[in-house]
Structure 1
Amino acid sequence: MKISLMKPSEIKEVKNIAELSWHDTYEGIIPVEVRTKFLSQAYNEDVLLMRLERSPFYVAKVNDQVLGFANFSNKKENGDVELAAIYLHPAHQKQGLGSALLEFGCKQLNPDHVFVEVESDNIKGKSFYEKKGFNVVDTFDDNFDGHILKTVRMSLNLTT
């Protein structure tokens, strides 16, 4: 496995992983039409290129194939970062790729805290973050294109 900054030539692979993992993860949680609309807005090639140019965006590759990605915010003045997204190809989950992406991003950015927001019914996501030491710091309702999500905000303290 190799982790590196995403290259513009890898955007199509990242877009494909986003679509596969979003539909897999949020089936039964977020209606398909809401997922499809979100993906077309947040993971189109122009937006991915902009995210790459403005924030740390890492890919995990095995045999030169992108199998996962993680997008962090830039480190804030207070030392914190937001984990905006971490998604893996559904067939390659539970193989250490997500852990490696999270660890790589933390090593590169050296934050005091990492924050992430996860839908409360996303059991796989919540379980992953809990196993990595994240703790719930807030819960709230999020209006996601007319669909109310129960969102959990979690934090990983890296100062100790």
Structure 2
Amino acid sequence: MEIRNMNTDDIKQVQHVAKTSWNSTYERIIPREIRERFLNSAYNDDRMKQRMERSLMLVADEDDRVTGFANFSPVRDGGKVELYAIYLLPEIQGKGIGTALLNEGILRLDGVKEIYISVERDNAIGKAFYEAKGFKAVQELEEDFEGHILKTIRMVLEV
């Protein structure tokens, strides 16, 4: 398995990982039509190209198959970074690939001091992953997500 920068040839596979992971994770949390609307907006071809240009997009590549990805903001004031996503195909979760993506992002983000993530409170797998990596909850809030109220936990990792 190799962790590398995403390129345009990876777009369809990354979209597949996002869709598969989102539907598996949020099936009982977010209504289907809202998931579909979000995925079509956030992961369409143009948005994928923007993500590659404006942020750090890493993929986990196993034998030319993208099995996961991570998306980090650039380093901002005071060394703060937003971790937009770590998504993995459900069948490869628990094998260290999410950890490898997180660690590679930390290595590549020069000057990072804090990494922030927003995780849905009922996303038990995501919450457990971030807590195991040392992220600490700093805030709990309710967000209007495409007309659906999400209970979100903001977490931070001090690097």
C-alpha displacement of 1:46: 1.0
Q: Partners in 2 of 1:112 and 1:54 — Cα distance?
A: 20
Q: Partners in 2 of 1:142 and 1:79 — Cα distance?
A: 26
Superposed CA deviations along residues 49-93 of structure 1, whole A, max 9, x for unmatched, are 111111100001111210000000000021010000110011111
TM-score, scaled to structure 2: 0.98
**1:104-143 alignment to 2 at 5 Å?**
104-110=104-110, 111-143=112-144
Superposed CA deviations along residues 2-51 of structure 1, whole A, max 9, x for unmatched, are 01110011010000000000000001100001000000000111110111
TM-score, scaled to structure 1: 0.97
Aligned residues: 158
Partner SS, residue 136 of structure 1: strand
Identity %: 49
Partner SS, residue 104 of structure 1: helix
1:31 pairs with 2:31: yes
2:96 alignment partner AA: G
Structure 1: 5+ residue stretches without partners:
none
Partner SS, residue 46 of structure 1: helix
1:121 alignment partner AA: D
